[in-house]
């Protein structure tokens, strides 16, 4: 859980999002993830690293972690150069949302999810009854985070977190998570050697970072241990408990595909702009089949929802209900939440999207181009904040401002055509 695509996320999701640990999730999802290889080429850092570890041990002792745990868990820890590289890495290219959705919601993913949901219906059903989170949502997260438990990440979490904690842009995150990981080992849930995960410390079949583990992991099979690596009942209970803790509303939907009226103000379509569902209905937003949003079963019509256009005004439109936001707490990327909710819907027999993705559009996938876009907007007096290559709320607003002035639909979607238009537009004196 965790990782962020656009920027910071929540624990992983949560924490990653929050801490901006982008990439952890990508590393995890990549079957080519390399095994951790301790590296000794950074000899100069060894004394400082050892001294730093002693400081961590001292702090751990004050938290009541046993000496025996500390000496065994930290005995063979080295700086892991691969973790250092991944931590410094800023991916140059994003994927178009339709390419991401093609793989995240593939027919293979859906059919495997369906068959595993049947196979493990007892333990999934128990988690569903106890926490009120649908088995299909738990299954979808399980599939996305570790390909249903088959890819737990190739890093020793203690070593990865010690490396992050020692230096670099996630040092305070790494140290805090390392202390939490030591506590987990000390409590006997897993041994330090078996504590594998992503390079950024997301662990087990649904990728909890250690602090999230301590707060939300549950012992689903009642053996006294919370084992997110090998005990499915624990994985399902923990995942459901996390979503419940983030506000999951039982028996309510996650999202719907919608149809927008001809005169819709596209500036209103943003994950950050929430209105009561009734208001969207009064603005003539309907379900994609034309039915009124007011007739949507299972959803409180006064609840706040957002309209999202993940591929701009030429692509499908969705209404994101409160449960969609809960999934965003797992990983703060609209594409992630949309994929989880759609896999869940397909597992339970729901439809594919009716509206096709605008595959002939050219979204700005390179970081260099996104930075250029932000720089050109800034030169034209639109406020994007820092030109960091991340298309966040402020940049989307700046794009909308430019689009409005240029007579385009203000959907905030960054495309190559938009960049080309900006390059040719006059710079004010």
In whole angstroms, the minimum distance from the beta carbon of 226 to Ca ion comes to 6
**SS3 assignment, position 86:** helix
Q: How many other CB atoms are there within 10 angstroms of residue 289's CB atom? A: 11
In whole angstroms, the minimum distance from the beta carbon of 221 to Ca ion comes to 5
Q: Candidates 128, 145, 176, 234: give the one binding Ca ion (CB under 5 A).
A: 234
Q: Which residue is nearest to Ca ion (CB)?
A: 219
Which residues ranging from 87 to 106 are in contact with Ca ion (CB under 5 A)? none
In whole angstroms, the minimum distance from the beta carbon of 222 to Ca ion comes to 7
Buried b (16+ CB within 10 A) or exposed e, 239-276: bbbbbbbbebbeebbbbbbbbbeeebebbebbbeebbe
Greatest extent of the chain over all pairs of C-alpha atoms, in Å: 71
d(C-alpha 280, C-alpha 75), whole Å = 58
Nearer to Ca ion, 123 or 335 (CB): 123
Decide the pairing of beta strands 304-308 and 286-287: unpaired
Q: Of 228-236, 267-275, 391-399, 402-410, which part binds Ca ion (CB under 5 A)?
A: 228-236
Q: Candidates 99, 167, 187, 219: give the one binding Ca ion (CB under 5 A).
A: 219
In whole angstroms, the minimum distance from the beta carbon of 231 to Ca ion comes to 5
Backbone φ, ψ for residue 280 (5° rounding): -60, -40
Q: Candidates 112, 225, 259, 394: give the one binding Ca ion (CB under 5 A).
A: 225
In terms of residues, how long is the chain?
429
Residue closest to 43 by CA, chosen among 73, 87, 81: 81
Q: Which residues pair with 287 in a beta bridge?
A: 258
Nearer to Ca ion, 189 or 346 (CB): 189
Torsion region of 414: left, alpha or beta (phi above 0 gives left; psi -120 to 50 gives alpha)? beta
Nearer to Ca ion, 221 or 355 (CB): 221
Q: CB–CB of 8/16 below 8 Å?
A: yes
Q: Candidates 42, 67, 223, 265: give the one binding Ca ion (CB under 5 A).
A: 223
In whole angstroms, the minimum distance from the beta carbon of 142 to Ca ion comes to 16
d(C-alpha 310, C-alpha 355), whole Å = 12
Nearer to Ca ion, 4 or 241 (CB): 241
Q: Candidates 147, 151, 221, 268: give the one binding Ca ion (CB under 5 A).
A: 221
In whole angstroms, the minimum distance from the beta carbon of 237 to Ca ion comes to 8
Residues that bind Ca ion (CB under 5 A): 219, 221, 223, 225, 231, 234
């Amino acid at each position: 859980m965790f990782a962020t695509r656009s920027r910071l996320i929540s624990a992983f999701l949560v924490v990653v999002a929050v801490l901006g640990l982008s990439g952890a999730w990508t590393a995890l999802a990549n079957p080519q993830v390399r095994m951790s290889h301790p590296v000794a080429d950074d000899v100069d850092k060894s004394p400082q690293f050892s001294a730093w570890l002693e400081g961590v041990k001292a702090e751990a002792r004050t938290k009541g972690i046993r000496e025996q745990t500390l000496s065994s868990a930290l005995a063979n820890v080295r700086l892991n150069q691969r973790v250092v590289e991944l931590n410094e890495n800023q991916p140059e290219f994003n994927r178009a949302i339709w390419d991401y959705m093609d793989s995240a919601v593939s027919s293979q993913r859906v059919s495997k999810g369906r068959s595993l949901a049947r196979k493990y219906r007892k333990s999934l059903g128990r988690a569903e009854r106890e926490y009120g989170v649908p088995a299909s949502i738990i299954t979808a997260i399980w599939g996305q985070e570790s390909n249903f438990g088959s890819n737990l990440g190739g890093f020793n979490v203690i070593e990865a977190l010690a490396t992050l904690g020692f230096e670099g842009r996630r040092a305070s995150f790494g140290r805090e998570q390392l202390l939490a990981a030591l506590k987990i080992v000390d409590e006997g849930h897993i041994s330090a050697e078996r504590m594998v995960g992503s390079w950024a410390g997301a662990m087990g079949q649904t990728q909890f970072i250690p602090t999230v583990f301590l707060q939300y992991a549950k012992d689903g099979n009642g053996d006294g241990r919370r084992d997110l690596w090998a005990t499915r009942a624990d994985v399902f209970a923990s995942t459901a408990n996390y979503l419940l803790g983030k506000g999951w509303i039982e028996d309510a939907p996650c999202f719907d595909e919608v149809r927008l009226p001809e005169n819709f103000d596209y500036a209103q379509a943003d994950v950050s702009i929430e209105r009561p569902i009734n208001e969207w209905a009064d603005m003539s937003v309907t379900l994609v089949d034309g039915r009124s949003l007011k007739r949507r079963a299972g959803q409180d019509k006064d609840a706040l929802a957002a309209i999202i256009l993940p591929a701009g005004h030429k692509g499908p439109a969705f209404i994101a209900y409160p449960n969609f936001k809960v999934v965003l707490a797992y990983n703060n990327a609209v594409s992630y939440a949309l994929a989880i909710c759609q896999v869940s819907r397909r597992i339970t027999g729901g439809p594919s999207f009716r509206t096709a993705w605008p595959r002939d559009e050219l979204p700005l996938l390179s970081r260099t181009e996104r930075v250029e876009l932000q720089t050109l907007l800034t030169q034209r007096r639109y406020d994007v904040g820092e030109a960091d290559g991340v298309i966040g709320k402020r940049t989307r607003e700046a794009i909308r401002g430019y689009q409005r002035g240029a007579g385009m639909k203000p959907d905030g979607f960054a495309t190559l055509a938009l960049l080309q238009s900006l390059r040719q537009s006059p710079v004010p004196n």
